[in-house]
Amino acid sequence: MKHRLTTRLWHWINAAALIVLFMSGLNISNAHRFLYWGDYGFDPKDAWLSVVRFPAWATIPQRYDLAEARDWHSLAAWVFAIGLLVMWVASLVNRHFRRDVATGLSDWKPAAWKRALAQHTRDDVEPDGRYNAPQKIAYGLVLGVLLPLMIFTGLAISPGIEPAVPWLVDLLGGRQSARSIHFITAWLIFAFAVGHVSLAFAPGQRAALKAMLTGRTGEKQHD
């Protein structure tokens, strides 16, 4: 397996942007810890969820400062959105998505999942240099659904955006619905990141981790 420099740069820059987005988002969440559905929501009694107050060590900045947190969030959002757009264009042009990420019927069969489990937990099972079935499904959902959804919901709840693109807010069910979806999606991405990092250190994935750090191990090349 070999990863091009551009792939590794996008991976690590995107990871850094997501960390900043998540931690600054927790600071923003502390400003109003209640989530609603629909167009309006101000009264905590109408909220469907009361979010915990996140500690300072988990936020950016590491104190409650809504204005600075929004600045960090906006900066990282531009890095994240432009990087995702470039990644998608490149993946479609060089057919990386179609070749390595898009799933087929065989990827949903138990045998494919059994093989993937062996690759992740055993050193004596040699990876074939390609993403296994759960990886392709997970990456497809994250890259094709969750990450774009973060961008669109983020736009929908940005101050002053509604007069410019009211259709986007309506499509998402209202400003407060967009905020709730944004919150849920952020934590789904966080869960994926935890699983992704945990599996990266599994015995059967050491070669893949080395490939993303150094660029090469084995023969297969991913664009």
Q: Which residue spans within the chain are E strands per DSSP?
A: 2-3, 34-35, 49-50, 221-222
Q: Can you tell me the distance from the alpha carbon of 127 to that of 107, in angstroms, rounded to the nearest whole number? A: 16
Which tokens hold the place of 47?
């909220």
Q: What is the pLDDT of residue 125?
A: 46
How far apart, in whole angstroms, are the C-alpha atoms of residue 25 and residue 14?
16
What is the mean pLDDT, run by run of 10 residues, along the chain of 223 residues?
68 92 97 94 92 97 96 96 90 83 85 78 55 86 94 92 87 95 97 86 62 57 45
2-222 belongs to CATH 1.20.950.20: yes
Give SS3 for 47: coil
Hey, how many other C-beta atoms are within 10 angstroms of the C-beta on 156? 24
Kindly give the interhelix angle for 175-200 and 5-31, rounded to the nearest 10 degrees: 130
Tell me which DSSP letter residue 182 carries: H
What is the SS3 assignment for 65-126?
A: CHHHHHHHHHHHHHHHHHHHHHHHHHHHHCCHHHHHHCCCHHHHCHHHHHHHHHHHHCCCCC
| pLDDT score of 129 | 58
